[in-house]
Structure 1
Amino acid sequence: MEWKQLLSAERSRGTSGKMRVNRSTDLRSEFEKDYHRIIGSASFRRLQDKTQVFPLDKSDFIRTRLTHSLEVSSFGKSLGQNIGENILAYKRDPDFTPRMKEDICNILQCAGLIHDIGNPPFGHFGETAIREWFEKHLSELRFKGRPVAEALTPQMREDFYNFEGNAQALRLVTKLHYLVDEHGMNLTYALLNTIVKYPVPSTGIDKSSGNIKDKKMGYYYADEEIFEAVRQATGAEGCRHPLTFILEAADDIAYKTADIEDAFIKGFLSYYQLRNELEELQKKCGFGENEDKFNALEKLETLYERGKMRGEQSPEEYAVKNWIVKVQGFLISCATFGFTSNYEQIMKGTYCNDLFHGTFGEKLMDLLGDMAYRYVFTSPQIYKMEVTESVIINFLMDKFMAAAVKYDNPEEKLDSIDKRMISFVSDNYKSCYHSHSRGRSETEKLYLRLLLITDYICGMTDSYAKRLYQELKAIF
């Protein structure tokens, strides 16, 4: 893969990606224009009312999808600066230019903003609830006397069984943001390829391959055409785009450190529990014995003592919050090293791991994720919230999917409730459905109608999904 092609500024709608030769005073690059398209979109604004970890939380401190996305955007740009400068300084690629470094930073900044834009309400559990609904109920829906699961092709069926927020993000920005036409936000192909973490269809998932790119699906059958156009334009050829590794590292840094900070603030994790966990890590791994390593335990203890000397009301809070900042800086260095030390493999498309693999930060990242799971995600409080969310998602899926099978189907008649359910669906999404279903087979139309409902539900914020459920259940 070559950077000149990887950084393709081509778009779906009528542009070669080259600057127009005129007297325009707009001196922004194509990737800087992407940034403004994203910031001004309703889909991006909705992230302010979508869960990151704590569903329907009323605290103004706890992170939302919006604040998380801003953090990922910031980390992504920082990593782009580090890595771009390293490529230039060590002449890793004679064709790599300072302008390319600038483009990388802008692309990663944009990618951070939209990497979670397709996620449904209620965080990752919302994805799980939707997947499980399809596993349980897709065969119960009937189309022309047959179970819907049998009427669909294998890839269509697997798309629903493996429903994925990452694939939904590509769909949303390329089709569902129906502002001008069917091309969505019409973002550059380099940016679109960067957010495709898994460049395989639902039928290509292979969790046993050992290659990180095969873990989940990256695009729906409905969006295969745009994926192929992006792949060919950027020259990725079925491999991960190099910037995807950087985006994923930025995401990992953001959520793994934020989960610990949020858990501390919410009282799930204490300073002393964090200290004990780090102590155990050091005993197991010798973590911090080498002066080149980041001594996480020593940093935390030093910050705690500094907090006491400063007379902080809570030296524990002072220590944890400042420790998070130190850890983030360390992990940025680790991810930079992970990319630059595996540069040739990444550019050949043969690198199979994340950027923390084999670095000093790998064990710390593993611990942060494990702590979040043990102290937060498996806690009774979170489990109760997730059960509530499941009830909401299941009810909405039941009602809307039953109507969707009959919608735009001359052989079926919508009853009074079905008509009302379809009327609730965004006119924007229905316009998108009619645009893309024109001339399609009955099977494809059925598939697109099911996607119409997942599109609509994924576009809901947490509070809207809850409010709609309460209104439809007559809970006042």
Structure 2
Amino acid sequence: MEWNTLLSAQRMRGGKSKKNFKSTDLRSEFEKDYHRIIGSASFRRLQDKTQVFPLDKSDFIRTRLTHSLEVASLGKSLGQNIGENILNYRKDSGFTIQMKEDICHILECAGLIHDIGNPPFGHFGETAIREWFERNLPQLVFKGRRVEDILTPQMKGDFYHFEGNAQALRLVTKLHYLVDEYGMNLTYALLNTIVKYPVPSDKINRKSGNIKDKKMGYYDADREVFEEISGATGAGNCRHPLTYILEAADDLAYKTADIEDAFVKGFVSYYTLERELSALMEKRPDAPFDALGKLKELYERGAKKQPQNPESYAVKNWIVRVQGFLISCATYGFTSHYDEIMAGTFCHDLFYGTYGEELMELLGDIAFRYVFSSKTIYKMEVSEAVILDFLMDRLVHAVLYYDTEEKLNSIDSRVISFISDNYKNAYKLQAEGKTEEEKLYLRLLLVTDYVCGMTDSYAKRLYQEMNGII
């Protein structure tokens, strides 16, 4: 792979040149992407989508919006570090200062939209939708035939392996239907960067040992879009190099933020964190970053500066120190595996083989044991499942015969009216010239498109209104 093609500024809808016209817009194409994203309704809706704690009343706890801003910031920082390293150590003779700047802008934009396709209620929302299809798709019947028998293996796999990652690509390329069918019409370099898993649902292989095969990255309905983008950048079926950096920024952001949010919510105490780090340091006394020692040092400093709450001072400042160390680890991970990444053969994340890998694993494990496995979160998730199951039941029943010669009953026609015209217009455009089987598949996608576009509050409110709960 070569940077001059990887950083493709091409868009699906190219600009129209005007003779004798000199533009006063001095932004690069990737800077223009940033403004398209910031001004979009889809991005604004992230402010009311769960990161960990749904519908939380605290103004401190992170939402998908604040998480995405943090990922954008960390991604840009990593881009600066890595770009400077490539230049200073002359790892690539074709790499320029302008390319370094472009990388930073692309990663900043990718951070903003990497979660833009996620449904309400965080990652559990994805699980609830997948499980709904596992239970119900085998039971669905369309014109006397089982829907499972009508759909192709990849079409079925798209629902059984439903992913917010694939939905993000679909949203920004097809569903942001304001001007035309090209969505936000973002650059190909940016679009390729957000495809974490460049495989379709029927090619998932969790045993391959390659991180890119773990999940699906695009729907059957969006295969041509993916092929056009990855063909233009030259990445093909490999991960785009910037995807590794985006993933590292995402992992770094949420694993450190989850600890901070868990501390603020009372799930994890200072002493719990101290105890967990003690176990890690016993295993790795030679570690280049003394995580436990730094936490204790900050506690002592906090006892002098904020004697009423040294624990809070210590934990929050410790998170900042940890992020700085992990940025260094990810930078090393990319630069030390540069040739493999550029050849498309690197199979791991950027923390692989570094001390940061063990620290990241510990942070994730702490969050899982003390937060995600708690009764408080389980109760929230049970409520969320009830909401999503109800909405999926009603919406799928309504769309089965939508846009066919069959007349909808009064309830189904009303349910269809709830779906945004934006999504219905996108469906009709994509359904033109398609077979009856393909249209059925697109109608099921219409449901996931609509549900994924919901905020937490809207999903809860729609559920209550449809059930007559005032």
TM-score, with length taken from structure 2? 0.99
Q: Alpha-carbon deviation of 1:284?
A: 2.0
Counterpart of 1:226? 225
Give distance in 2, aligned partners of 1:409 and 1:135. 25
Percent of aligned pairs with the same amino acid: 73
Aligned to 2:298, which of 299, 303, 307? 303
Counterpart of 1:436? 430
Contact 1:78-1:105 within 8 A present in 2 as well: yes
Partner-residue secondary structure (3-state), 2:400: helix
For 1:323, the aligned partner's letter is W
Counterpart of 2:244? 245
Contact 2:306-2:313 within 8 A present in 1 as well: no
For 2:364, the aligned partner's letter is G
Q: Alpha-carbon deviation of 1:312?
A: 3.4
**Structure 2 residue 469 is the aligned partner of structure 1 residue 475:** yes
Q: Alpha-carbon deviation of 1:360?
A: 1.5
For 1:325, the aligned partner's letter is V
- Give the 3 Å change call, closer, same or farther, for CA 130–19 of structure 1 in structure 2: farther
Alignment of 1:90-129 (within 5 A): 90-129=89-128
Alignment of 1:69-218 (within 5 A): 69-218=68-217
Counterpart of 1:59? 58
For 1:173, the aligned partner's letter is V
Give distance in 2, aligned partners of 1:49 and 1:453. 20
Contact 1:261-1:324 within 8 A present in 2 as well: yes
Q: Which whole-Å deviations, capped at 9, do the CAs of 1:106-127 have from their partners, x for residues lacking one?
A: 0000000000000000000000
- Give the 3 Å change call, closer, same or farther, for CA 19–366 of structure 1 in structure 2: farther
- Give the 3 Å change call, closer, same or farther, for CA 205–474 of structure 1 in structure 2: same
Q: Which whole-Å deviations, capped at 9, do the CAs of 1:446-471 have from their partners, x for residues lacking one?
A: 00000001000000000000000000
Give distance in 2, aligned partners of 1:21 and 1:283. 70
Give distance in 2, aligned partners of 1:433 and 1:469. 24
Partner-residue secondary structure (3-state), 1:406: coil
Give distance in 2, aligned partners of 1:429 and 1:469. 20
Counterpart of 1:338? 333
**Structure 2 residue 451 is the aligned partner of structure 1 residue 452:** no
Q: Which whole-Å deviations, capped at 9, do the CAs of 1:200-239 have from their partners, x for residues lacking one?
A: 0000100000000000000000000110000100000210
Alignment of 1:352-391 (within 5 A): 352-391=347-386
Give distance in 2, aligned partners of 1:356 and 1:323. 19
Q: Alpha-carbon deviation of 1:322?
A: 0.1
Counterpart of 1:2? 2
**Structure 2 residue 418 is the aligned partner of structure 1 residue 419:** no
Aligned to 2:403, which of 399, 408, 417? 408
Q: Which whole-Å deviations, capped at 9, do the CAs of 1:93-152 have from their partners, x for residues lacking one?
A: 000000000000000000000000000000000000000000000122211101111111
Counterpart of 1:313? 308
Partner-residue secondary structure (3-state), 2:138: coil
Root mean square deviation of aligned Cα: 1.2
Partner-residue secondary structure (3-state), 1:281: helix
For 1:326, the aligned partner's letter is R
Give distance in 2, aligned partners of 1:19 and 1:247. 36
Give distance in 1, aligned partners of 2:239 and 2:185. 21
- Give the 3 Å change call, closer, same or farther, for CA 299–21 of structure 1 in structure 2: farther
Q: Which whole-Å deviations, capped at 9, do the CAs of 1:25-67 have from their partners, x for residues lacking one?
A: 1010000000000000000000000000001111111000000
Contact 1:71-1:254 within 8 A present in 2 as well: yes
For 1:118, the aligned partner's letter is G
Give distance in 2, aligned partners of 1:28 and 1:306. 45
- Give the 3 Å change call, closer, same or farther, for CA 22–33 of structure 1 in structure 2: same
Aligned pair count reads: 470
**Structure 2 residue 14 is the aligned partner of structure 1 residue 14:** yes
Q: Alpha-carbon deviation of 1:14?
A: 2.4
Partner-residue secondary structure (3-state), 2:128: helix
TM-score, with length taken from structure 1? 0.97
- Give the 3 Å change call, closer, same or farther, for CA 391–297 of structure 1 in structure 2: same
Give distance in 2, aligned partners of 1:430 and 1:195. 25
Give distance in 1, aligned partners of 2:55 and 2:137. 29
Give distance in 2, aligned partners of 1:394 and 1:298. 47
- Give the 3 Å change call, closer, same or farther, for CA 33–19 of structure 1 in structure 2: farther
For 2:307, the aligned partner's letter is E
Counterpart of 2:46? 47
Give distance in 2, aligned partners of 1:313 and 1:176. 51
Give distance in 2, aligned partners of 1:41 and 1:377. 31
Give distance in 2, aligned partners of 1:188 and 1:85. 23
Give distance in 2, aligned partners of 1:15 and 1:21. 15
Contact 1:312-1:318 within 8 A present in 2 as well: no
Gaps of 5+ in 2: none
Q: Alpha-carbon deviation of 1:409?
A: 1.3
Contact 2:192-2:240 within 8 A present in 1 as well: yes
For 1:63, the aligned partner's letter is R
For 1:401, the aligned partner's letter is V
Partner-residue secondary structure (3-state), 2:13: coil
For 1:166, the aligned partner's letter is N
Q: Alpha-carbon deviation of 1:311?
A: 3.7
